[in-house]
Amino acid sequence: QTSLITGRNRFLHYAFDYETPKTLVIPSLGVGFVFRFTQFLVVMYVVGYVCVVQKAYQDTDTVISTVTTKVKGFAFTNTSDTEPRFWDVADYIIPPQGDHSFFVLTNMVVTPKQVQSRCPELPSPSTICVDDCNCVEGHSDPRGNGIQTGLCENYSTTARTCEVLSWCPLEIDTKLPEHALLAAAENFTVLIKNSITYPKFNFHRRNILPHVNSSYLKRCEFSRLTDPHCPIFRLKDIVSEAGEDFQDMAVKGGILGILIDWSCDLDWWAGECLPKYSFRRLDNKHPVNNVAPGYNFRFAKYYKTADGEETRTLIKAYGIRFDVIVFGTAGRFSIVPTIVNLGAALSFLSLVPVVADWFLVTCSRKRDLYSRHKTTHLTEDADSASVRDFSPSLSLMNLISTD
């Protein structure tokens, strides 16, 4: 029964004893240095990182953007494989309008005068045959060029392949020019018109700045050093800033990103909100595993002969696709995040005494003495003398000397 009463009393004391802070002045340079240095670190973190770097006193919004492009330039080609031809923007920009991107034709494989007829398939392990028994009528291979007719025909004097119903003559895309057909495309220019908004702040901007007029656009060209805000870019300069060579890339094509960063500080004391341009290659260019490199697709131009027969010219187009990628975050002073982060800073400061107390009772030479005086248990039925022994007028400075 006695043990039960003792356990009950312990529980009551544990549950209902009231604790109140007591000021204990410790004349120790070591503990004082730890306390002030920890305070300094917390203040530097709040001021330097939270306020200056992260700008946690601001409300933020994400950019909404629209982009249109206009490419200009001319080229003339006259090679042994093609007829002399003049090229303008309607010939090499495919399609004429793109969604935040545009494609510039730089190389091609042309298969002219195709008609729908029957012809031997290109030689491959699945199309080479000895006789008609090796060909299945109606069979179509997704990697092939047509639907088999069931006949085995002479492809050349040394090979026989299954005949197919297709657009004949078949395309031979291995005859790609070693040098880009439209090498002059490096001198083409593109005008990028970009409008952005931050709806939360009702903030609107264009990359064509307010002071720009039509005469300026006719003569300006983007240069990171001399004209970093001109919205007209030479294609060669874009590829060069991405770390690539235009003539090498133009042979088999590729994908380049034009990145426009609209990250802005909209507070009145900050500078003007201006776009920042950067460029990089987006498709994978592995120096060793370079399987299926570049960027290409096929399209055809259709015609009618005098006798009404449909023909077409098949073009396997190689070129550079430019993707315009707009991103950014804007911030402006707001009282709500300021109060929230101020409260967080004060909570960090409240942890400083915990660090100093830990150092006091763990690392100091007189930690046993400090531990005894750090916590005082007051007994209500004690006499007045014993109560005075624990009164605030008794300072630890009278008991210990400097650590």
- Residues at the binding site for ATP are 70-72, 189, 296-298, 316
- What value does the CA radius of gyration of the chain take, rounded to a whole number of Å? 40
CB atoms under 10 Å from CB of 21, counted, come to 6
Alpha-carbon distance 227 to 344, whole Å?
44
| DSSP structure class, residue 333 | E
Grouping H, G, I as helix, E, B as strand and the rest as coil, residue 162 is: strand
Alpha-carbon distance 93 to 72, whole Å?
10
Q: C-alpha distances in angstroms, 45 versus 39, 142, 155?
A: 10, 62, 77
Alpha-carbon distance 51 to 47, whole Å?
5
Q: Are 219 and 98 in contact (CB under 8 A)?
A: no
Question: To which H or E segment does residue 371 belong?
Answer: helix 367-374
Alpha-carbon distance 199 to 186, whole Å?
38
Alpha-carbon distance 372 to 385, whole Å?
19
Alpha-carbon distance 38 to 349, whole Å?
9
Task: Please give the annotated binding residues, written as ranges.
Answer: 70-72, 189, 296-298, 316
**Partners of 252 in beta bridges:** none
